Structure 1
């Protein structure tokens, strides 16, 4: 089940105003150009910012898939959204449709998407499904935080608290607070409070901070033929940009 921050309709509608800076997506736009991609599979598309941007700025064929129906509903309202195919589901669902097999030049998992797969079976199933949807020689690109940077130590209410005036909702308050660290697993709470009427919607998420070696090994196990790990351009020293060839 998707976390409430993505799956609750009211929270999904304010997700973009609460996190408006998506300059991180420039990294993936550059990869589209580098690999001369014409068809992109965006796994964990969320509210559709990247997919709509690809369609509008590059005129590409795009399929955005996400298990959070509320987020996909927001995606469908954006400029350029009518040029994108949207699916509520996961990569395994995409691969279950034979018409998607071997159809994409590039698959992406932006932001936290790759780290939401906390168990190995689910992660490998996701990778294998993506690989079958890529054309021979196509690429998968995703990011993952460097564990030694200990990013979770900065996920506190004191450092993340904000109140944003959202059109149609008024002031909305949110923050992030880590509640548990268990090996590679980091669990945190991210409440959203609508101050105009006092409604509070709580969301709990867990991310897995895999090592570089574990990421590379899982990609080989899933059938990718080669892996390149780059420094993440928008967070140098704090994240990896992982690129795997089908």
Structure 2
């Protein structure tokens, strides 16, 4: 199943167990805290980890995601009533409603074609107020992170809150022009086997900057790591902070 870790309730639970709060969330929390107004859009909010953390410190947060099972998991968590949850995509965003928009957990890479990425950025521009900011992460292709997505290096054991044990691993199936396709495999203790497939686009810094400029954004910073290191000297990331051209 395509993107099953966001759409299948069992695999959503596996995803949640594998993805606790980390310094990545601290980075986004810090950038949001620097922004006046702080009406926050979390596009691709998934199971709500960051959205709930932002709401807990007083921000007004809207979490948007197309995956119903992920949103159901988010709504079941403590504090979920403080977040507005919307099942949908960037095309469903209200106009001029947010001071800052974030896309975390490499959501930007799910827009595989340039046309898809461009449409999402245009939608985000429409959803932000004058002076609005956009913050997102995308993996630096120069780090070639997908080379570790193989059964040997990626194999892991995940224990769910109910005691279910899942063995998971990843394998790359194709690398074509910056688009990396892969399959997550899940082996359950009752001998069930599940799979989730996806393709992610790895864009260079130059490609990211060009797409943002075309959509009407000016780049403030691009960092290479979660401690705001320069590109190439951090964690193999491109951490992008931008604002609307002519409004800040």
Deviations 1:95-125 (A, max 9, x none): xxxxx31121110011220001001111111
* Kept in 2: contact 1:143–1:232 (CA 8 A): no
Q: Distance in 1 between matches of 2:187 and 2:59?
A: 37
Deviations 1:15-56 (A, max 9, x none): 111233533111100101222442100011011000011111
The answer as to whether partners of 1:117 and 1:208 remain within 8 angstroms in 2 is yes
Q: Work out which of the residue numbers 201, 223, 227 in structure 1 matches 2:216.
A: 223
Q: Could you tell me whether the CA contact under 8 Å between 2:43 and 2:102 is conserved in 1?
A: yes
Matched with 2:75 is 76
4+ residue segments displaced more than 6 Å: none
Map 1:82-121 onto structure 2 (within 5 A): 82-94=81-93, 100-121=94-115
What corresponds to 1:239 in structure 2?
A: 237
Structure 2 counterparts to residues 155-194 of structure 1, below 5 A:
155-194=149-188
Q: Structure 1 residues 21 and 192 mapped into 2: Cα distance closer, same or farther (>3 Å)?
A: farther
Q: Secondary structure at the match of 1:107?
A: strand
How many residue pairs match? The answer is 239
- Contact 1:163 / 1:173 at 8 angstroms: preserved in 2? yes
CA positional deviation for 1:226: 4.2
Q: Partners of 1:231 and 1:63 in 2: how far apart?
A: 27
Q: CA contact under 8 A between 1:4 and 1:202: conserved in structure 2?
A: yes
1:186 deviation in Å?
0.6
The TM-score, its normalising length taken from structure 1, stands at 0.91
Check whether the contact 2:21–2:49 (CA below 8 A) recurs between aligned residues.
no
Structure 2 partner of 1:9 = 9
Q: Secondary structure at the match of 2:102?
A: strand
| SS, match of residue 45 in structure 1 | coil
Over the residues paired in the alignment, what is the CA RMSD in angstroms? 1.7
CA distance in structure 1 between the aligned counterparts of 2:219 and 2:23, rounded to whole angstroms: 28
TM-score using structure 2 length: 0.91
Q: Do the aligned residues in 2 keep the contact of 1:66 with 1:87 (CA within 8 Å)? A: yes
Alpha-carbon deviation of 1:189?
A: 0.8
1:25-174 map, 5 Å? 25-56=25-56, 58-94=57-93, 100-174=94-168
Quickly say closer, same or farther: Cα 1:22–1:226, change in 2 above 3 A: closer
Distance 2:133 2:210 in 1: 16
